């Protein structure tokens, strides 16, 4: 039988139908019970600054706003995933760090992994404590110094940072990564606080020039004057855009905007709401419900 333009058109349409059927089957499977976890988030964890997309395609997309726990004050250059965790995720980690081994480490391709998100848990409480301690320490130094314009500005900055942490910063943290879903769920069994999602992990390597405390020129070879810190970063692709179902558009349009708080001189432009985000059997999130107000 000769292959005609009609046959090509029919085959192409059939392929489109098949691909859509497979996609819809995957969505249905992901949203079937039991769901893996359910998190009740607010505008602090769901950035709605991208709602302008609706003007173009009649849709509203929210971004899942998560962050990594802060490092210690003297360890800000270290990647959030350390070398031990990267080895656990299947990356080849050099036993000896030098320029050649680090370059080989950097050439490794990204890998798929599972990430654990924690909502309003120990990681967030630690961030609150760090911000509060920083404010209290700065305030104490200013009180001792009596008149110090620089410290006065720093007191105000740290006070606003504390208020931001208390009222507006995201309480959702990426705290762990792994390859075994069952093992991660055993480690984090609370499905109302911990969600497991699929992520992409990439390698990272930072270098820092070591101080030379001796007298005269530094006698060490150039390669020994640097301290290497290797590890990795991870991101959640599906977090960039969570489509809001059309049935919630009217509710979203009517949501109130944030008001100015006593400790913050400006009002929030974000809509104030709470939403139930469900992570399904395939660990893919979707928005189940939206309502006005705080959780």
User: How confident is the model at residue 1, as a pLDDT?
Assistant: 46
Q: What's the CA gap between 64 and 67, in Å, rounded?
A: 10
Q: What is the pLDDT along the chain (295 residues), one digit of tens a residue?
A: 455 666 556 566 555 655 554 544 545 555 566 888 999 999 999 987 654 444 455 778 899 999 999 876 545 567 899 999 999 999 999 998 888 899 999 999 999 999 999 999 999 999 999 999 999 998 888 888 766 777 888 888 899 999 999 998 999 999 999 999 999 999 999 999 999 999 999 999 887 655 555 555 555 555 555 678 899 999 999 999 898 988 888 888 888 887 777 666 666 667 889 999 999 888 999 999 998 876 4
Residue 65 dihedral angles phi and psi, to the nearest 5°: -95, 105
**58 dihedral zone (left: phi>0; alpha: psi -120 to 50; beta):** left
In this prediction, residue 145 carries a pLDDT of: 75
What pLDDT does residue 55 have? Answer: 47
What angle do the packed helices 122-145 and 149-167 form, to 10 degrees? 160
Residue pair 201/110 in contact (Cβ under 8 Å)? The answer is yes
In angstroms, the CA 282 to CA 150 distance is 52
Helix runs in the chain, H state only: 5-30, 54-57, 83-88, 99-106, 122-145, 149-167, 181-187, 249-253
Domain ranges of the chain: 34-64+241-295, 81-120+180-235
Instruction: Sheet with 37-42: list strands edge to edge.
Output: 37-42, 273-279, 285-292
In 3D space, the residue among 44, 71, 293, 269 whose CA is nearest the CA of residue 169 turns out to be 44
């Amino acid at each position: 039988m000769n292959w005609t333009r009609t046959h090509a058109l029919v085959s192409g349409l059939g392929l489109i139908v098949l691909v859509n059927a497979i996609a819809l089957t995957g969505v249905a499977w992901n949203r079937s019970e039991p769901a893996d976890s359910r998190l009740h988030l607010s505008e602090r964890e769901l950035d709605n600054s991208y709602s302008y997309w609706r003007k173009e395609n009649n849709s509203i997309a929210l971004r899942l706003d998560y962050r990594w726990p802060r490092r210690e004050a003297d360890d800000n250059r270290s990647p959030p995933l350390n070398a031990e965790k990267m080895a656990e995720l299947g990356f080849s980690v050099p036993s000896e760090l030098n320029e050649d081994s680090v370059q080989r480490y950097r050439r490794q391709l990204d890998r798929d992994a599972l990430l654990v998100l924690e909502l309003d848990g120990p990681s967030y409480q630690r961030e609150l404590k760090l911000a509060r301690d920083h404010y209290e320490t700065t305030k104490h130094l200013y009180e001792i110094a009596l008149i110090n314009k620089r410290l006065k500005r720093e007191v105000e900055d740290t006070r606003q940072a504390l208020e931001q942490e208390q009222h507006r910063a995201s309480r959702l943290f990426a705290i762990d990564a792994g390859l075994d879903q069952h093992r991660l769920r055993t480690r984090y069994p609370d499905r109302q606080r911990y969600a497991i999602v699929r992520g992409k992990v990439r390698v990272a390597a930072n270098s820092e020039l070591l101080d030379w405390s001796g007298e005269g020129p530094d006698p060490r070879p150039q390669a020994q004057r640097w301290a290497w810190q290797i590890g990795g970063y991870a991101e959640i692709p599906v977090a960039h855009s969570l489509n809001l179902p059309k049935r919630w558009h009217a509710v979203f349009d009517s949501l109130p905007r944030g008001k100015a708080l006593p400790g913050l001189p400006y009002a929030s432009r974000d809509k104030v709401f709470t939403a139930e985000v469900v992570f399904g059997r395939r660990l893919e999130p979707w928005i189940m419900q939206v309502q006005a107000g705080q959780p």
